Amino acid sequence: MELIEDTNKFRLVRKLAEGGMGAVYEAHQLGAEGFEKTVALKTILEEYTQNTEFVEMFIGEAKLVADLVHQYIVQIYQLGKIGAIYYIAMEFINGVDLGDLIDRHKAMEKRIPVELAVYIISRACRGLEYAHRKTDMDGNLLGVVHRDMSPGNIMVTYEGVVKVTDFGIAKAKNIMLDQEGEVLLGKVHYMSPEQARFENTDGRSDIFSLGVVFYELLTTEPLVQAESTIATLQQVADFHIPPIREKIPDIPDEVEAILSMALNKDREKRYQSMGDMAHDMEYFMYNKGLGPMQVDIEHFLKKIYPNSTGFAPTQEGKKKTVAF
């Protein structure tokens, strides 16, 4: 078929985040006849463009997530390059990540309602379940493992939609660089015991990591509190989970059981799939009737972030249009 070629143009609005070897910007994608679409642009910092391994991971993330089309996963639109700098154009999430939500509640000395915390994590479960079950065009399982589940990688829009993001260190057959056993990737405070021991991981590792996020969302306190990286890895590898009832005496038995199974250090005794974990959460929410819904999260966020209009503020000043 005939190839259609075009030049992508983006107007950079503001830098949203910078860390490690990359940065993320809010931008407006420009098209014909005054067309504009708000997107997020993820780029490699210029000083790291010669890091072949990092560039390969960046490209791998774009190729992987391009086919992970799901309502609970941040969508990727385009992988491009200008000069030596690669960029990913992706869905702009107008909301907050769970790290911010946890910090906000901790500052207010409040806890997130249990039912809403269960709803948020259950939606992340469904997004990850889809990723774990993804196959290639021939029906072969890709073996996707996120490997970096943390509060910062789960976002909630101001309309109450939960989105899993940042598959930058995920592994998937024939797509993502896999150096398990050689290189330790991920945030050590959220690693599964097997990940911390440099063992090969599967979807059950993400279940454990999501369980750690769930614990922190419920308690607003970190589960792993060692200071140094080595001490943290040792604590995670020999994990002993403090009973959450010590923190939340009135936690429902069903939620305590879900958390305990997700955080079992023996992966054979853990939930064996994200779908199983999501099922138990959904049963808890809805088996007695109407439970929390997306609109409840929306109303909840409006109370927690009263100054938000539902639209991210634009920084004043000169805006730059770039062609990619």
* Sign of the CA dihedral with 9 first, then 12, 16, and 22 last: positive
How far apart CA 118 and CA 96 sit, in angstroms, is 17
Rounded Cα distance between 267 and 145, Å, is: 14
- Expressed in angstroms, the distance from the first to the final Cα of the chain is 24
| Residues belonging to the active site | 148
Q: How far apart are CA 144 and CA 70, in angstroms?
A: 14
CA distances from 54 to 37, 41, 100, 177 (A): 28, 17, 27, 10
CA 96 – CA 152 distance, rounded (Å): 9
| Residues 11 and 27 sit within 8 Å (Cβ to Cβ) | yes
CA 20 from centroid of its chain's CA atoms: 16
